Amino acid sequence: MTTLITYYPGPSLANPEARLLSIVVSDIPWPRVNVARFQIDRTFSNAYAAAGGSTANPFPSPNPAQLPAIRLAQEIALARPIARNIALSGGRFSEPIEIEPYTTICLWITPALESAPQAPVWIEPTVEDGNVILRWSPNRENFFYSYEVYLMGDGGRTERLTPDPMRAALWIDTKPPSGRRVYGVRAVSASGIASDLINSPAVMIEEG
């Protein structure tokens, strides 16, 4: 169940103020739910701001070191950590929300389930212009929440590369150092249940 809220004041309002809303969702058929609040505004889900764009700097020129942060900001972002396994009373969820001007909020309510999503299947990674392009089969479960991509080492996971959530079945590892790299990917449900972690074929990045 999804509730989409946007607040984009017209040009006649020179200094629009935040609005306080009371959101009520009723007739929810599940006794326990997860609630995610996705948000797009000047901070969240905003690659333009991550690149340094603003009213004072409308045409930013980011340097290559900023590219990983910009890629992270391209993903739809959570305004807060996802709330899981919330007990409902009478099939009703309510929450007060303060929304700032020029903001979009999506409240996503899903049933709390113990089912694990299907493990992704890798598509052969490729190296292009020094970047590693990672692709895998997309999940189609209605309770799918996010992918997690890790850099793998001899002892298992060494570093998570992707934000939470990351819903596209594609990630670009920007300008990694030369050498051999292996990646792991898994799918995670809205209830926090993860699939098996699947390793990619090894990728060789040439120096220079």
Report the chain's mean pLDDT, rounded to a whole number. Answer: 92
Say what the pLDDT of residue 136 is: 98
> Computed over its alpha carbons, how large is the radius of gyration of the chain?
20
Residue 6 belongs to a domain with what CATH number? 2.60.40.1500
pLDDT tens track for 105-124 = 999 999 999 999 999 999 99
Asked if 12 and 104 sit in the same domain, the reply is: yes
Asked, for residue 117, whether it belongs to a domain, the answer is: no
> Quick one: DSSP state of residue 56?
S
pLDDT tens track for 115-161 = 999 999 999 999 998 899 999 999 999 999 999 999 999 888 889 99
Asked if 20 and 61 sit in the same domain, the reply is: yes
Say what the pLDDT of residue 208 is: 65
Give the global pTM. 0.83
pLDDT at 97 over 90: yes
The answer to whether 105 touches 37, Cβ cutoff 8 Å, is yes
Domain-terminating residue out of 80, 111, 142: 111
Query: Which token pair is 186?
Result: 């898994």
Asked if 106 and 165 sit in the same domain, the reply is: no
pLDDT at 197 over 90: yes
pLDDT at 206 over 70: yes
Residue 133 belongs to domain spanning: 122-205
Query: Which token pair is 96?
Result: 């007060």
Asked, for residue 116, whether it belongs to a domain, the answer is: no
Q: Which residues contact 57 (CB under 8 A, 6 or more apart)?
A: none
